[in-house]
Structure 1
Amino acid sequence: MLQLNLAANSLIQTDTQLACFGEKGTINIATSVLEKETIECLKDHFQSIGKEYINIAPLLIVPEPSNLREKSDGEEIQTFLDTMQAQFDVRSVVYISFGTFFWPEITSVSAVIEEFLEEQMPFLLAHPVAELPEELAGQISRSGIAKEVTWAPQQQVLAHSATGWFVTHGGWNSMQEAFRYRVPLIHWPIAAEQPLNAALLSLKFNAVFEVRRGERGTKKPYRCGDGPSPAFTDHSLRKELRALLQSLKGDEARRVRGNFEIIADRLASVWEDGGEAQKAFEGFLNRHFT
């Protein structure tokens, strides 16, 4: 959240959120496309205390994706994605990246890689903050259907027609980019707002898949009424992944992708003329800067 009077800023940091309160009001990077009821409550609350509340999202400055070949390692990534598309068709590659701050335990990563290779599911793995064991990197290199890099130009990868799914911790930035390029998510929440994002999109919208093996998944109460109780072992993770990989090939994947694309279309419209974010931001500028 951004406060409207920077001189009056007061920050409260918790383990899951950063809240900013200003003298005149609050700008919240949120959208009623995803959180309509919450935003309505916040508007009512701020109005009741005589302050302004503005929600504008998504916030993603997106130039047209440049050619992957212009990026570091881009030539190899472009060639890999082109090759996988020719071999397996469009939307066949799973892109795996947990960003620059979060990373699952290496045994879990090994389980994911081995199950994907066993199922002949092509994937691109970006791991900027983790080192892969030499044996694991060798498995990927020898497979012929997978590639690992320390860093990937994420927007360009998501924009490539070979990319069909995105395994992510589910942070807000990655979510916005995925919606921008209409690449549905496989959430693996680890911390912060990620479990909430996963629950919101999987339970309310049926628009993502979810892996419940992350650190926050071990906390009570367990949310497993629609599946087996978690065991929090690598064996249980492998079992979950096998079921997930089968789901990616069937009707459930088509439903999830369709629901995800509906949300993506609605998010794309909020900055168009008359859209929610466009009207809110223009009104804010007119009230405070004209």
Structure 2
Amino acid sequence: MYDYELEPQGFRPPKQLLLRSMIKSVGALDWTDGLITVDALDCHREAAEAYTTFFAGRNQRMYFARPLIAARHPLPSLEDAQATEALIFMDKQLKERGERSVIYASFRSLFWPQDPAKLNTALDHLTESGIPFIMSRPSPAAKLSERGSCRGSEYKCVFGKLAPTTGHSRSPIPMILWPITVHQSTNAVYLTDVLDIADELIEVRTGVGAGPRRRTGKAPFGTLDAVREELRNVLASAFNQDGVEKRQKLLIVRKSLEDAWSEKGTARQEVADFLDHVMALPASTLFPAQAS
């Protein structure tokens, strides 16, 4: 992929985010003994091995602890009116429409699409097509027009406490990806082109990210009509045989990640090695104040 495809939304990170997070986190690697990550070793072996080799060259260790997922879904508090309302909504759709009938839309807690008109077009298409959906909006950058998202009949906007999806490791539910920045675009390539367990929306790209794609040589049209047409085609595939095939592939991925915490699983061994490494460090390294 071309370098500008790493920013498919033409996202420019806020200055404070760069200063407080990205720059400090990179600098912190210079004085650490190693790194423990919540990435899964078995999810992308090639990338994991590349990171391990890189840190080994710096005399540092790399440990992979994922998946860190609760064994059971936590039940919402009776005082959490929004979560309770969302569950009532989903129960209603399950009863009336059956399984796999609701779309959950989430851009997580930090980023948001840079072109509100394209997001509104996508949401309009869902409501006009009679496809029920739940949308979380925890990001402070979230912007939704009153016209675009709230005129449909079967939708629910959730502001914050409904847990985001945990990807393909918990449920065999194919994802429709709308990458924005950092690792999202490369993950999208891996999930769509390599594992074939997801679809990526291309017409929603904007700004510098809307240039020609390395994979096809073609640039997205980028119009609202193109966004609507692409989403229509993706949903048609998702609710038919293509969706069935992707769910079958997801079951294989899920089994691999579930085995990671078995008695001889990779994640269990990685965390055990990490704890052994930490406990072998001098006390002055672990607790400098107490040692002095």
Partner of 2:244: 254
Q: Does 1:245 align with 2:257?
A: no
Q: Show the counterpart of 1:149.
A: 158
Q: Find the partner of 1:218 among 195, 206, 209.
A: 209
* Alignment match of 2:148 (pick from 136, 142, 148): 136
User: The residue matched to 2:173 in structure 1 has which SS?
Assistant: coil
User: Which ranges in structure 1 are unaligned for 5 or more consecutive residues?
Assistant: 1-10, 156-173
Quote the residue 2:88 is aligned against.
Answer: 79
What displacement does 1:223 show? 4.1
Distance 1:86 1:220, change over 3 A: same
The equivalent of 2:123 in structure 1 is 113
- 1:51 deviation in Å? 3.1
**How far, CA to CA, are the matches of 2:49 and 2:255 in structure 1?**
22
Higher relative contact order (CA 8 A, sep 6+): 2
Q: Distance in 2 between matches of 1:219 and 1:34?
A: 29
Name the one with the larger strand percent.
1
Q: Using the alignment, how far apart are the partners of 2:83 and 2:21 within structure 1?
A: 40
The residue correspondences of 1:168-187 to structure 2 (distance < 5 A) are: 174=165, 176=166, 178-187=168-177
CA distance in 2, matches of 1:210, 1:17: 29
Q: Structure 1 length normalisation: TM-score?
A: 0.77
CA drift of 1:278 comes to 0.4
Residue pair 1:195, 1:216 contacting (<8 A) in 2 also: no
Is the aligned partner of 1:234 residue 2:224?
A: yes
Deviations 1:94-145 (A, max 9, x none): 01111222222221121111211232211112223434322334413xx1x2
Tell which deviates more after alignment, 49-58 or 98-107: 49-58
CA distance in 2, matches of 1:13, 1:74: 33
Q: 2:98: which partner in 1?
A: 89
Preserved contact between residue 207 and residue 259 of structure 1 (Cα < 8 Å): yes
2:123 maps to a residue whose letter is: I
SS in 2 for 1:192: coil
Letter in 1 for 2:147: E
Shift of 1:268: 1.7
Matched residues in 1 for 2:31 and 2:109: separation? 30
Determine if contact 1:126/1:150 at 8 Å carries over to the other structure. Answer: yes
Task: Report how far residue 67 of structure 1 moved.
Answer: 4.1
From the superposition, tell whether residues 119 and 23 of structure 1 become closer, same or farther in structure 2 (CA, over 3 Å).
closer
- Alpha carbons 1:202, 1:209 under 8 Å: kept: yes
User: 2:197–2:249: 8 Å Cα contact kept in structure 1?
Assistant: yes
- Which letter maps to 2:144? L
1:122 is matched with which residue: 132, 136, 140?
Answer: 132
Using a 3 Å threshold, how does the CA distance of structure 1 residues 69 and 47 change in structure 2: closer, same or farther? Answer: same
CA distance in 2: counterparts of 1:271 and 1:202, whole angstroms? 26
Separation (CA, whole Å) in 1 of partners of 2:59 and 2:93: 56
Cα separation, 1, equivalents of 2:229 and 2:220 = 11
Residue pair 2:52, 2:62 contacting (<8 A) in 1 also: yes
Task: Specify the structure having the higher radius of gyration (Cα).
Answer: 2
Identity of aligned residues (%): 24
Aligned residue identity for 1:253: G
Q: Give the partner amino acid of 1:202.
A: T
- Per-residue CA deviations over 1:28-59 (Å, capped at 9, x if unaligned) read 33323222122223333443443322222223
Equivalence for 1:284: 274
Deviation at residue 27 of structure 1 after TM alignment: 2.5
